[in-house]
Amino acid sequence: MNKFTIGTIIPENEGWVWSSETIGEPVPRYVFLKLAGVNGVTDMSRVATGKLLYDGREISVTFARFRHGADGWFETIQTLTDEITQLFSQNNEITITTKTNPDVGYTAYAWNWKPSRDGIIQFLTLTFKVKPVNLLAFSKYVTIAHEDLELSSSWADNTTQKITIREVHVYQSDTEYDSKVVTVYDEDDNIVYSGLPSDFQTTPWEIDMSGDEVQTFRISVADLAGWSVNFRWTKEVL
């Protein structure tokens, strides 16, 4: 089952039970001007960028936890909120993954919290201010038995028409290997990328999908039998 994640923090792993959540809609940023000689108003919202922009939205999630007795009931709340505060202090933007829309990674840039209690049940409501543009997460596995990685243009960023892969994981059974070179070949068997998983982070593999509905690549892993490779990337969506 999908869990609510705040960067690396998962409240459900710390004894909290997800109760409810609300995901606000992005607010269109309309700009209307009254121009001389023109009736009514003129929509200038798309003049600067050629597209409609949006203001931020909010995600509010409530967790519950049983706590007997009056002593120390606030400590578990303080522990979790301190962890989230520290996370935001280390990074100005944190990816939020919700339970109602688990395929999208929302980028949070601010947050607040509110505790409450009903008998032995304590509640904690976390409210995050997130960017209007979200990150849709993709994940594709390739194995030694089926070496082809097939990519669709629908998975590319709408603006750049590129798929940018920064996260690659190499496995043999349940063991992950960081020191194995992953090589990518195009359909003509030319090498288009070769490097360690960490190389993809520092120098992402960019695939231009403009004009192509589908592109297919062959994958190999050096010095490892029975391997599988997980490619992960994101796409900006509203």
Q: Convert the pLDDT of each residue in 175-200 to its tens digit.
A: 999 999 999 999 999 999 999 999 99
Q: Give the domain extent around 173.
A: 135-237
Does 1 have pLDDT greater than 60? no
Same domain, 12 and 125: yes
Same domain, 123 and 209: no
Q: What is the pLDDT of residue 135?
A: 79
Condensed to tens digits (0 to 9), the pLDDT of residues 52-107 reads: 888 889 999 999 998 776 666 788 899 999 999 999 999 888 999 999 988 888 99
Strands 227-237 and 167-172, by their bridges, are antiparallel
Closest CA to 131 of 158, 163, 154, 109: 109
Stretch 131-152: mean pLDDT: 92
Domain boundary among 132, 147, 168: 132
Domain boundary among 132, 155, 182: 132
Q: What is the pLDDT of residue 160?
A: 84
17: helix, strand or coil? strand
Q: What is the pLDDT of residue 35?
A: 87
